[in-house]
Every structure is written in structure tokens, then in C-alpha cells.
């Protein structure tokens, strides 16, 4: 049935009909634009999601172990945690709520006390320091976020006043004078505004905790994606009297929202391909109408219905394949341009270019969806052409 391919190719090229050629081009362009939009949007959404995930993994421990009454035997627990398969680092921390007072204004913050020598093995906080070094976090010093520094007009070496709520005379809280020894910028406004970092011993003093008591232990693992598996190993090691949370648990709502947003946009933009499929349907219907005489002659020669149906099915699928290929090329090219040449405000996103990440699975899903939609668009016109009777096709000839 080589003639099926030949006739389908001739109808697709439509060398003697400029209007049919125009319709074919419009149909191909519609599919190409839809595929291009899908590839670019899913790539950008994946890129932003991965960028956010890297920041979260870098600024917080992969797993935290806490207890409602606090942890006292931190040295022994650190040794037990480091013995768990996959754990590469463990560091104690103290965390609590605090107030900062500047120029008569007070703001509630989260204070995190860390041991600088151990913290480097758990988080990448030193990578986010725009001013100062982690070694300077000693004594009465504090690291603040860039947004907090901007809000209060603070800079390196400036004194700040911290108030520990619920302590001190008459319940007014003790005031502590600390010095800004570092400013960090993660690109996440919540962190850069509401988090301050102090030495572990200073945090214990401010929160009125004994030297041996800590809030929890942060853990870094070799493969962050295996955090839930390592969590079960830790439970087996320590028992179930501790509260263990992974970075996935602490940010589950955020990542679920990103997932739904990505695939919601995928579904919406797939409608562009469906609209392009209507162009394929109209193109094939016009082709069938204009080729009634040819169909009648073919059927009078004894060409079976399935061959007639195959001619127009192949024409529609060819439109889908060509459009998908051009869309694939356009999507990859546009994604490269966005990632390489298009700049974004670094002070807002903490990156200077659009983070595009094209995943093979996403591309395969997009290409498959475009091809399935293109095929479905050929069914009705192909069946109508196959059911056309020779007498009706040649009646007015």
C-alpha cells in the first residue's frame, strides 16, 4: 500500500492548491506553538522548583531530631546519629522566638543558636553570607538576613537589641545588646526577614536554658532525596520518643503547591494543542471536500475503505509530527535563550538568569500528548472520507 503514503504526501504538500497549503501551514504552526509553550513553561516551573529546593536544602538541615522537653545528652546522641547509614553530619541547635527593638520599633523573629564549627557540616549558611564569615559568630554577635538589615537600616558592626519575652523583671523581658557580625541573603524573603543566627551559648543564655540543654540536632545526609528512608533508620536507632522531621515534611505544602501549579499550567496549555487539533480537523475536512472526485475514482478502482481512511489519518498525523518537531526545536531553543541571556532581578530571586530545567520525562509527556491529540483529530474526517460512496463522489462529474 505504498500509494497510501504517496497520496497522503501529495495532499499534505497540496502543490496545486494554495489555500490547502495555507491550512496545512496554520495547523502545523498551531501544534508547534502549543508544544513550544508547554516545554518552556514546564521547564521554567521545574527550574524554579529545583532552585527553591536547593535553597531549602542548603539553609536548613535535611533532618531534625527534637524532643518536647529538649535534648540533654547531645554528645551521645550525635555519636548515635553519625553511626546511622547515610548521615554525614550532625550539629546541635537552640531555637526560639525573640523580639528585635530598633528606634522604638519591635519585630518578632526566630532566633537560631548554632555551633559554627559543627554547623558547616549540616547547612550551607556560609555560602549565603554576603558580609562576614562564619568564624566571626562568637560571643555577643549575631547574623541577620538582608531583608531585616534593609528594614532597620543595619550594617556590619551595628549594635542591635534583642528582647527575650516572658523573662526579666515584671515579665518585661531581658534586653541583650549584640553586634551584627554577618549578613546573609538566601533569596527567600521569609528567611531573610524573620531569622537571626547567634552562637549556641548565647542563644541558651537569652532563652534562659542550661548549658547542657538544646532544642534539637540538625542532620545532613548524603542523598537528600532519601531523607524519609534515613528517617526510619533514625527511629530504629533512637526510638519513637523523639520527634523527627525531614526537609520534605517541613516544606510539604510548598512543594505540593508547586507540583499542582506546574501540572495545572500543563493542563491549561495543553488546551492550546487541542485548539490546534481543531485546525487539523478543519484542514482534513476541507481536504476531503476538495478531493471528493479523487476519492470517488480511488473507490471505483477498488481501493478499500481502510486505505482511504489511512490516507487522511496519515496526513493529520504528519501535521502533528511536523508541528511537534518544530515545537520541540522551538521550546528547547527558547529555553536555552531564557536560561542564558534573559536576566532577572538578582536581589529578588537570588539568581541572575531564568532557571530553566528541561526534564526528559516532561518532554516525553508533552510530545506524547501532542501526538495523541493529533491522532484523535484525524478520526472523524478519515471516517467520513472512507464512508463516501463512489456514486455520490462522481455524481456531478
The answer, yes or no, to whether residue 363 has pLDDT greater than 70, is: yes
pLDDT at 167 over 90: no
193 pLDDT tier (thresholds 50, 70, 90): confident
Distance CA 93, CA 10 (A): 73
Q: pLDDT-based confidence at 170, cuts 50/70/90? A: very low
| Every domain of the chain and the residues it spans | 2-55+254-394, 87-221
C-alpha cell at 342: 534573559
Three-state DSSP class for 145? strand
**DSSP labels, 203-255:** HHHHTT--TT-EEEEEEEES-GGGHHHHHHHHHHHH-TTSEEEEHHHHTHHHH
Q: Where are the alpha helices (DSSP H) in the chain?
A: 2-13, 18-59, 74-82, 116-119, 146-152, 189-194, 200-206, 227-238, 247-250, 252-290, 292-300, 305-341, 346-349, 360-386, 390-394
Please state the pTM of the whole predicted model.
0.73
Burial (CB < 10 A; 0-12, 13-18, 19+), residue 27, is: buried
Over range 152-163, report the average pLDDT: 90
pLDDT at 171: 46
Residue 246, phi then psi, degrees to nearest 5: -95, 165
156 secondary structure, DSSP code: T
Least confident span in 73-77, 166-170, 271-275 = 166-170
Residue that the C-alpha cell 501535521 belongs to: 319
Tens of pLDDT, residue by residue over 27-51, are 888 899 999 999 998 998 888 888 8
Amino acid at each position: 500500500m505504498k500509494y497510501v503514503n504517496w497520496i497522503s504526501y501529495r495532499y499534505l504538500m497540496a502543490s496545486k492548491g494554495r489555500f490547502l497549503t495555507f491550512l496545512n501551514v496554520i495547523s502545523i504552526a498551531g501544534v508547534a506553538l502549543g508544544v513550544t509553550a508547554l516545554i518552556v513553561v514546564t521547564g521554567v516551573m521545574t527550574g524554579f522548583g529545583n532552585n527553591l529546593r536547593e535553597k531549602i536544602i542548603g539553609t536548613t538541615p535535611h533532618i531534625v531530631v527534637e524532643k518536647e522537653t529538649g535534648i540533654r545528652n547531645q554528645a551521645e546522641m550525635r555519636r548515635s546519629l553519625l553511626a546511622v547509614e547515610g548521615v554525614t553530619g550532625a550539629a546541635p541547635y537552640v531555637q526560639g522566638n525573640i523580639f528585635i527593638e530598633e528606634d522604638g520599633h519591635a519585630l518578632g523573629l526566630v532566633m537560631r543558636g548554632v555551633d559554627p564549627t559543627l554547623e558547616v557540616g549540616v547547612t550551607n549558611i556560609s555560602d549565603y553570607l554576603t558580609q562576614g564569615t562564619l568564624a566571626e559568630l562568637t560571643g555577643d554577635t549575631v547574623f541577620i538576613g538582608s531583608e531585616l538589615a534593609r528594614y532597620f537600616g543595619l550594617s556590619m558592626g551595628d549594635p542591635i537589641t534583642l528582647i527575650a519575652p516572658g523573662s526579666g523583671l515584671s515579665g518585661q523581658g531581658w534586653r541583650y545588646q549584640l553586634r551584627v557580625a554577618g549578613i546573609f541573603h538566601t533569596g527567600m524573603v521569609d528567611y531573610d526577614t524573620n531569622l537571626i543566627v547567634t552562637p549556641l551559648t548565647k542563644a541558651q543564655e537569652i532563652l534562659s536554658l542550661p548549658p547542657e540543654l538544646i532544642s534539637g540536632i540538625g542532620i545532613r545526609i548524603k542523598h537528600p532525596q532519601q531523607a524519609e528512608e534515613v528517617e526510619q533508620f533514625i527511629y530504629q536507632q533512637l526510638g519513637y520518643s523523639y520527634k523527627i522531621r525531614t526537609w520534605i515534611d517541613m516544606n510539604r505544602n510548598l512543594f505540593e503547591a508547586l507540583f499542582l501549579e506546574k501540572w495545572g499550567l500543563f493542563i491549561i496549555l495543553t488546551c492550546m494543542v487541542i485548539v490546534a487539533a481543531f485546525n487539523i480537523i478543519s484542514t482534513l475536512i476541507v481536504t476531503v471536500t476538495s478531493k471528493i472526485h479523487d476519492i470517488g475514482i480511488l473507490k471505483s478502482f477498488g481501493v478499500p475503505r481502510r486505505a482511504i481512511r489511512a490516507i487522511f489519518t496519515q496526513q493529520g498525523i504528519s501535521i502533528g509530527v511536523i508541528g511537534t518537531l518544530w515545537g520541540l526545536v522551538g521550546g528547547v531553543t527558547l529555553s536555552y535563550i531564557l536560561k542564558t541571556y534573559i536576566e532577572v532581578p538578582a536581589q529578588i530571586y537570588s539568581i541572575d538568569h531564568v532557571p530553566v530545567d528541561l526534564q526528559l520525562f516532561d518532554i516525553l509527556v508533552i510530545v506524547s500528548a501532542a501526538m495523541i491529540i493529533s491522532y484523535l483529530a484525524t478520526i472523524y474526517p478519515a471516517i467520513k472520507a472512507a464512508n463516501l460512496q463512489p456514486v455520490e463522489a462522481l455524481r456531478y462529474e
